[in-house]
Amino acid sequence: MYILHGVYDWGSLVVHLALEELGVNYEFKSVDYEKGALASPAYRALNPVGLVPVLETPQGPIFETAAILLYLAETHHALAPEVGTSNRTAFLSWFAFVTNGLHPTVMALFHPERPLGEANQAAVSEASFTRMSSQLDQLEAHMPVAPSILTLYVAMLLRWAICGSAYRRHTLDISAYPKLALMLRDLEARPAVARVLEREGLGPRGLSQPEYAGAGLTG
């Protein structure tokens, strides 16, 4: 039994998707971040850095999205090429590219005031959008698109980037990336993905044609 501590449409979304895809026994526990739950001693005992997500496992809590996803794929022998198989190297390379590269870029696009303050947010937003476009060019050209923790992760980030139009100057036109757009539609057709999109209130086209609900994307 796993316990996922998360907030709908925050970074816990990809772990939620992976757990549902794996068909394992889990519970989703909403983190009451508005009441300071991320700073509580109980939460910090699970995740010392006080961020979402954290997953309670039979071996103890695990935090950092990439670590959680690799743990799940390795434990359940699914959603990633197995160690020793020929496509493992490409998978790991692109997984690191996304978790170390695209994720911070998308976060900077959403919170352009964070790195250098309000006065510089237009420049940060501009630079982040340019960086994201070049990272997506790479993914469009090279990323393996078989359903995996990698495609689920990219799908979450693309959802956020497309949603950006509702409240940010820069928004992603996914039609410029036909392979990635098809990947999103293919994921939405998967029953496990559809269940999580419904549960988190993101709608059946919550990956390929998302609408900003006004509740998420604040973390």
Ligand X SMILES: N[C@@H](CCC(=O)N[C@@H](CS)C(=O)NCC(=O)O)C(=O)O
CB of 190 to ligand X, least distance (A): 23
By the rule CB under 6 A, 11 interacts with ligand X:
yes
Cα–Cα distance measured from residue 219 to residue 217, given in angstroms and rounded to the nearest whole number: 6
By the rule CB under 6 A, 18 interacts with ligand X:
no
By the rule CB under 6 A, 64 interacts with ligand X:
yes
User: By C-beta, is 53 or 81 nearer to ligand X?
Assistant: 53
By the rule CB under 6 A, 52 interacts with ligand X:
yes
User: By C-beta, is 51 or 194 nearer to ligand X?
Assistant: 51
CB of 49 to ligand X, least distance (A): 8
Q: Cis bond leading into 58, ω under 30°?
A: no
Identified binder of ligand X from the candidate list 5, 26, 55, 65, rule CB under 6 A: 65
User: By C-beta, is 23 or 48 nearer to ligand X?
Assistant: 48
By the rule CB under 6 A, 43 interacts with ligand X:
no
User: By C-beta, is 98 or 181 nearer to ligand X?
Assistant: 98
Q: How many CA atoms, within 13 angstroms, populate the side-chain half-sphere of residue 118?
A: 0
| Cβ atoms of 108 and 115 closer than 8 Å | yes
Judged by CB under 6 A, how many residues of this single chain contact ligand X?
A: 8
Residue with tokens 């420049």: 123
User: By C-beta, is 64 or 186 nearer to ligand X?
Assistant: 64
Cα–Cα distance measured from residue 131 to residue 102, given in angstroms and rounded to the nearest whole number: 9
- 38: phi > 0 → left, psi -120 to 50 → alpha, else beta; which? alpha
By the rule CB under 6 A, 10 interacts with ligand X:
yes
User: By C-beta, is 63 or 126 nearer to ligand X?
Assistant: 63
Please name the helix (run of DSSP H) or strand (run of DSSP E) that holds residue 103, with its range, or none.
helix 103-110
Radius of gyration of the chain (CA): 17
CB of 6 to ligand X, least distance (A): 9
Instruction: Report strand pairing: 26-30 vs 2-6.
Output: parallel
Cα–Cα distance measured from residue 1 to residue 126, given in angstroms and rounded to the nearest whole number: 43
Binding residues vs ligand X (CB under 6 A): 10-11, 38, 51-52, 64-65, 219
